[in-house]
Copies of this chain bind each other. A is one copy, B any other.
């Protein structure tokens, strides 16, 4: 967990919830869990999520439409992300591998396209589930 001084009230509430969660959270489950703190509408959640993603505090797991806290302290923006996802228990871990991130950040092919961002999702069975 890092400093949250620049975050607004709703952003703090939602980041706090996501950071304390043991797994990915979905937007409407977040909404349900912060209703007692005065956040009443989906849009309030999505706005906070957008901001938190923008500053790299959380990431969206695209294949699950769910959100996790960034576990990579030097991941200031969500522009180079990799996750491993257990297809059985749906546990998600942020992959933090310097070789991998260098390889992907520098990846270029003959398409002439300049990449400035990537997101990678690995799927499989986690240690517990593959038994």
Chain B nearest CB: distance from A73 CB in Å? Answer: 18
- Asked if B120 and A118 sit within 8 Å, CB to CB, the answer is yes
Please tell me the number of chain A residues within 8 Å of chain B, measured between CB atoms. 30
Are B127 and A112 in contact (CB-based, < 8 A)? yes
Specify which of B104, B107, B111, B122 is in contact with A115 (CB 8 Å cutoff).
B122
B114–A123 touching, CB < 8 Å = no
Would A84 and B63 be within 8 Å (CB), given that A116-B124, A122-B118 are in contact?
no
Does residue A19 face the partner (Cβ distance < 8 Å to B)? no
The chain B residue with its CB closest to the CB of A96 is: B109
Instruction: Kindly list chain B residues whose C-beta atoms are within 8 Å of the C-beta of A127.
Output: 111-113
Contact between A118 and B121, CB atoms less than 8 A apart: yes
Contact (Cβ within 8 A) A84 B113: yes
| List of B residues within 8 angstroms of A114 by Cβ | 124-125, 130
Question: What are 18 A-to-B residue pairs whose CB atoms are below 8 Å?
Answer: A62-B63, A63-B119, A84-B109, A84-B113, A93-B111, A93-B113, A95-B109, A100-B107, A103-B103, A111-B127, A112-B126, A114-B125, A114-B130, A115-B123, A115-B124, A116-B125, A117-B124, A120-B121
